[in-house]
């Protein structure tokens, strides 16, 4: 891992199914960074699954826990962090992400997101009668927030870690490391 105070974090944001975890793990390996999935951190710290947190505490309880985890994660450096899709809903999270790293928005088309998430029962917000419509609603609500904090927006259905790294270097040079 890079020296903790010499390298900034990379935060991946986007809707569920955008590939934040998959791309984040591969990008972290390429850059020799630590990989962190904020949803997995919430689960590890609470000892229960996200659907269970939603069931017991509701979305607000989960968002409160998510904000605590993001605040703690952002104090370290040299990490690629896959955030939860709704992390941008809280203004303090948006401020935290912007202040402690480079934010990359993985903007994946809705049909691709639906195909990737339609059988996943671990996504509480999609356990509704019309998950396609729910994804559209989430996109309408969150897309402006992702764009508000993004240093880079990468659009497409086949985004790779290599492409993210290349775009990061092309668009920001080495300045993203400081």
Alpha-carbon span 104 to 153, nearest angstrom: 6
Residue 5 has pLDDT above 50, yes or no: no
Alpha-carbon span 47 to 140, nearest angstrom: 32
pLDDT per residue as tens digits for the range 84-102: 999 999 999 999 999 999 9
pLDDT per residue as tens digits for the range 9-20: 999 999 999 999
Domain boundaries, the chain: 9-168
Alpha-carbon span 2 to 113, nearest angstrom: 33
CA 148 to mean position of chain CA atoms: 14
In this predicted structure, what is the pLDDT of residue 38? Answer: 96
Alpha-carbon span 45 to 41, nearest angstrom: 6
What's the CATH class of domain 9-168?
alpha beta
In this predicted structure, what is the pLDDT of residue 162? Answer: 85
Copy the structure tokens of residue 33.
């960074």
Q: Which residue has the higher pLDDT, 165 or 83?
A: 83
Percentage of the chain lying above the pLDDT 90 cut: 69
- For 135, half-sphere exposure in the C-beta direction (CA atoms, 13 angstrom radius) is 21
Determine which of 30-34, 91-95, 135-139, 169-173 has the lowest per-residue pLDDT on average: 169-173
Residue 109 has pLDDT above 80, yes or no: yes
In this predicted structure, what is the pLDDT of residue 7? Answer: 66
Mean pLDDT of 117-141: 85
Residue 46 has pLDDT above 90, yes or no: yes
Residue 1 has pLDDT above 50, yes or no: no
Give pTM, 2 decimals.
Answer: 0.89
Q: Cα–Cα distances in Å, from 157 out to 97, 98, 116?
A: 24, 25, 11
């Amino acid at each position: 891992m890079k020296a903790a105070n010499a390298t900034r974090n990379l935060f991946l944001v986007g809707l569920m199914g955008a590939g934040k975890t998959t791309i984040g793990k591969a990008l972290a390996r390429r850059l020799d960074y630590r990989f962190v999935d904020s949803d997995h951190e919430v689960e590890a710290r609470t000892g229960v699954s996200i659907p269970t947190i939603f069931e017991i505490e509701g979305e607000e309880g989960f968002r409160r826990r998510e904000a605590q985890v993001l605040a703690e994660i952002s104090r370290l450096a040299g990490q690629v962090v896959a955030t939860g899709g709704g992390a941008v809903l809280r203004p303090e999270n948006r401020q935290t992400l912007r202040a402690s790293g480079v934010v990359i928005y993985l903007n994946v088309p809705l049909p691709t997101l639906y195909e990737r998430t339609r059988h996943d029962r671990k996504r509480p917000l999609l356990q509704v009668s019309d998950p396609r419509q729910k994804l559209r609603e989430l996109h309408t609500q969150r897309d402006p927030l992702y764009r508000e904090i993004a240093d880079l927006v990468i659009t497409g259905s086949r985004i790779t870690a290599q492409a993210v790294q290349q775009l990061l270097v092309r668009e920001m040079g080495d300045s993203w490391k400081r």
